[in-house]
Amino acid sequence: MRAILRRMPLFLGRAPAAAFIPFLSVLGAVTALGLGTSWAKQALFPAVGAQGTTALRVGLSALLLLLIWRPWRRPLEAGDWRSVLLYGSTLGLMNLSFYMALRTIPFGLAVAIEFAGPLTVAVLSSRRALDFVWVALAAAGLSLLLPVGLGGSALDPVGVLWALAAATCWGLYIVFGKRLGHLHAGQSVALGLSVAALVVLPVGVWHAGTALLSPGVLLAGLGVAAISSAIPISLEMVALKRLPKQAFGIMISMEPAVAALLALVLLGERLSFSQWLAIGLVMGASVGCAAGTRRRPVAAQGVAA
């Protein structure tokens, strides 16, 4: 990791005035995602539930990105459509599972548990013995959060299961996303979110019905969609163009801590010492995996949550 950090100033030193742009972009992406999710939990959950909130966020995000990227301008090969369907389906189920988890467990802890997905993918794609150290570190963190864990956690078991489902979907989202690596990022994300919307909209409509069409709910949903998806995606693309993938992976690992801090300030979700320790252990495992990355794709992307 020291070698990576030493190279980062050289990488950014060619444009001193813009040296902080990629770092601020990652911080802005993680913060925007946390703000949008906190707003959704506070403003939309009471009105349309987690299911309706997911439908609004994913559906309106898809509309925004379709307008921005206009993916129909670039034709797809026949085989690409199957990959888009798999990628989009897991993206939709990941968002739904994550929001379902937020009903009963704190935001920061849900993010920490969800990080198990990309960490697993990173380790399984590695041949380095050191990565198993990061597995042990992540497992120690999760053991403090799971209802049967060593930390005596009082987390709701159903909420934890939803978070683990989100972690599984995040891992699959990365696997299927690799198959679309030859496409323009904006095109693949716009099409993926469109498929995700088709997956979660029926669930949201079934749960919330016509409440989804309330002007206030639609306006709040549009704000959540912009802050939680459109803004983070744009900022992450800016960062990825200017940062080595290892550096990006290290920086994005701060997401659980940022989520926990925002939830503390905006939602009043206080965590115990063992829960903060668990977040720190999971973040450490993520940083370790990212620092050891060579040619592997970035293991974690904040926009997925």
Does position 17 have pLDDT exceeding 50, yes or no?
no
Write the CA distances from 154 to 217, 272, 281, integer angstroms: 32, 10, 19
Mean pLDDT of the chain: 85
Query: What's the pLDDT at 149?
Result: 47
pTM as predicted = 0.86
pLDDT at 138 over 60: yes
Does the pLDDT value for residue 95 go beyond 90? yes
The CB density around residue 168, as the number of other CB atoms within 10 Å, is 18
Q: What are phi and psi of 179, to 5 degrees?
A: -70, -15
Tokens at residue 161, please? 């299961």
State the pLDDT confidence band at 12, using cuts at 50, 70 and 90: very low
Confidence of residue 28 (pLDDT cuts 50, 70, 90): very high
Tell me what the mean pLDDT of segment 140-145 comes to.
87
Mean of the pLDDT values across residues 18-26? Answer: 78
Q: State residue 121's pLDDT score.
A: 84
- Interior/surface letters 30-60, b for 16+ CB within 10 angstroms, e for the rest: bbbbbbbbbbbbebbbebbbbbbbbbbbbbb
Higher per-residue pLDDT: 24 or 279? 279
Please, are residues 228 and 61 in contact by the beta-carbon 8 Å criterion? yes
Q: What share of the chain is helix, strand, coil (3-state, %, to 5)?
A: 80, 0, 20
Contact 203, 55 (CB under 8 A): yes
Query: For 106-136, what is each residue's pLDDT tens digit?
Result: 999 999 999 999 888 877 877 677 878 888 8
pLDDT of 6: 52
Separation of alpha carbons 292 and 4, rounded Å: 9
Per-residue model confidence (pLDDT) at position 67 = 92
Share of the chain above pLDDT 90, in %: 53
Q: What is the pLDDT of residues 174-194, one digit of tens each?
A: 899 888 888 888 888 899 999
State how far Cα 220 lies from the chain centre: 20
| % of the chain beyond a pLDDT of 70 | 86
C-alpha–C-alpha distance, residues 192 and 188, integer Å: 6
Helix (H) or strand (E) holding 34: helix 21-39
